[in-house]
Structure 1
Amino acid sequence: MSQQNVVDKVIIITGAAQGLGAATAVLLGGAKAIVCACDIKEDQLKNVVQAINDAGGTACFYRLDVSNEEDVRQTVDNIMSEHGRIDALINNAATDTTLSIEDLSIADWDRTLAVNLRGPFLLAKAVYPILKQQGGGHIVNITSTAAKRTWTEATAYHASKWGLLGFSHALHAEARRDNIKVTAVVSGGMRTPFILERFPDTDPAVLQDPKNVAETVRFVLTQPDETVIPEVMVLPMRETSWP
């Protein structure tokens, strides 16, 4: 069977205001998908959406707190009202607090797990019946090599990303019976604010361009109908910390 494309596919992307989310939104917008860009950073999000539309693509912005159940429900309802369908969900929004367990507050832990793990669950749960009723669709969860290894001062982040990888594989097993594809994209370090602001001593040359990971997201979305990629890892050539 031939490779699919994303033309006119309605695709939700969370955390779309910067980094990988923005790169994925721009790439898919350029490939003529209908991009539903979501983030809490409204001003940056509007800039991403305007860039896509100015380049001839189609994008809309939605202010969304992925950890808020009512916010997620309302946003999905709005997208369905405006576009009539949803073809794919890319769970990309993430946060972190780089502190030791002694310094990490319970509120920090709860917020990290709420955004990184509860958020993908809430969104997947909201779109699942829509995809099922439509006869199929795709959920892509952006996880990290933080789901495969550990470093210090990151207990909440690791717990959330290991959890997201487990959730993704469990959902893959469950969703395939409803013709819904689920993919975990395990990304190595990228030249994004998420890494460079938290770890300013990191050499950008050992990281990868988020556009490269966005290309992988497009690749998994365009597999033939009979094929699904449950997990794919994308690493920078020069990042030697894994493995």
Structure 2
Amino acid sequence: MGKLDGQVAVVTGASRGIGQMIAELFAGEGANIVCAARTINEGDHMLEGSLARTVQTIKDNGGDAIAVAANVSEEADCMALIEQARAHYGKVDILVNNAALNYYVPIVDYAVNRWIRAFAVNVHGPFILSKAVLPEMIERKSGAIVNISSGAAIGPGRGPYEDQTARGGTMYGASKAALERFTQGLAQEVAAYGGIAISAVSPSRVVPTPGTVYHKLVDGMEDPRGEPPILMAQASLLLASEPADKVNGRVCYSQEILKEFGWIDDAVGRGVDLPGSGYSQI
């Protein structure tokens, strides 16, 4: 018996990295997976990974999944994604908002259209998709929405600043802080219905993925300072499968929540030996 037997999960950004790992783990726990991203086939994007590969891996391991091309910055694509999920599997039990975008440019140089697009992917998309799946979750009084956040939501604090390097993460951090506030606000709104869990989870340490390697956030896929992506997938599984009254409104970190619930014995990083965001502490 899997933790998600008979459930249907929509996972955005499932073509590579954390989203791919979440999709594969959830499928291994018995869920039918709707894998969403913009990259359908290998070679469609400069980074390694595709929906075709993720879906094939799931099927090769005995699971069931479909690929849906979707740009979550567009309302029409978001609505079409949920419609296709329901058309194929009949329902949506779990939504994982993992897709994210940033250009790592200092604000003084940040193109307005890029800012708007990134904010649309990181915040507007999760809002539109959550709004689309909530009516059936409210009717059933069950369901889970897991928002994938980031340690970037923690700002540099007040000045003066010894480190004055402009690393270009301000936009990404601002959008992830907004996502965490959205998470807890929505969690409070659905609490009256019972059985619905809205949560957010960030890596306790930077996860080596094709994206983080490309942006030089880690020194390669084997960087010993990094966190294996399976830990984020397991933390997402925990938040999607534990009773809602235990996790609704939680803004947490992968190793922190896994240790708290006894899924791992040892933990390090954000939420453990480093402070988390303000939303994780209230």
So what's the TM-score if we normalise by structure 1? 0.92
Matched, 1:186 2:205: no
CA deviation map 1:150-192 (0-9, x unaligned): 4731121111101001100101111111222101112231011
SS at match of 2:95: strand
Aligned to 2:108: 102
Provide the rounded CA distance (Å) in 2 between the counterparts of 1:149 and 1:32: 38
**CA distance in structure 2 between the partners assigned to 1:217 and 1:128 by the alignment:** 18
CA contact (8 A) 1:206 1:238 kept: no
2:236 corresponds to which residue? 217
What RMSD in Å do the two structures reach over aligned CA positions?
Answer: 2.2
- After TM superposition, give the deviation of residue 134 of structure 1 in Å: 2.2
1:56 aligned counterpart, secondary structure: coil
1:168 aligns with 183
State the alpha-carbon separation in 2 of the partners of residues 22 and 196 from structure 1.
16
Using the TM superposition, give the Cα deviation of residue 45 of structure 1 relative to its aligned residue in structure 2, in angstroms.
0.5
> Which secondary structure does the structure 2 equivalent of 1:227 belong to?
helix
Identity rate, percent: 30
AA aligned to 1:157 is: Y
What amino acid is the match of 2:199?
T
- Counterpart residue type for residue 189 of structure 1: V
User: CA distance change for structure 1 residues 242 and 226 in 2, over 3 Å: closer, same or farther?
Assistant: closer
Matched, 1:233 2:253: yes
Q: Which residue of 1 aligns with 2:225?
A: 206
Q: CA deviation at 1:232?
A: 1.9
The equivalent of 1:14 in structure 2 is 12
Aligned partner of 1:127 in structure 2 is 133
User: Taking structure 1 as reference, are residues 88 and 159 closer, same or farther at Cα in structure 2, changes over 3 Å only?
Assistant: same
Q: Which residue of 2 aligns with 1:60?
A: 66
Q: Distance in 1 between matches of 2:101 and 2:62?
A: 31
Give the Cα separation in 2 of the matches to 1:147 and 1:175. 24
| Contact 2:3 2:30 (C-alpha < 8 Å) held by counterparts | no
Between the two structures, name the one with larger relative contact order (CA 8 Å, sep ≥ 6). Answer: 1
CA distance in 1, matches of 2:172, 2:106: 11
The residue that corresponds to 1:32 in the other structure is 30
Segment of structure 1 superposing worse, 95-104 or 195-204: 195-204
One of 82, 89, 96 as aligned partner of 1:90: 96
Q: Give how far 1:201 is off.
A: 6.0
Write the deviation string for residues 1-33 of structure 1: whole angstroms up to 9, x where unpaired.
Answer: xxx921121000000000000001111111111
Q: Give unmatched runs, 5+ long, in structure 1.
A: none
1:199 partner amino acid: K
> Structure 2: which 5+ runs fail to align?
42-49, 157-165, 256-266, 276-282
Contact 1:10/1:83 (<8 A) preserved: yes
Cross-structure match for 2:173: 158
Larger radius of gyration: 2
CA gap 1:101/1:29 in 2 versus in 1, 3 angstroms? same
Superposition deviation, residue 136 in structure 1: 1.6
TM-score normalised to structure 2 length: 0.80
Deviations 1:45-100 (A, max 9, x none): 11100110111011111111111111111121121121111111000000111111
What SS does the aligned partner of 2:6 have? coil
CA distance in 2, matches of 1:182, 1:58: 25
The Cα offsets for residues 88-113 of structure 1, whole Å up to 9 and x where unpaired, read as 10000001111111211101211110
Asked if structure 2 preserves the Cα contact closer than 8 Å seen for 1:146 and 1:157, the reply is yes
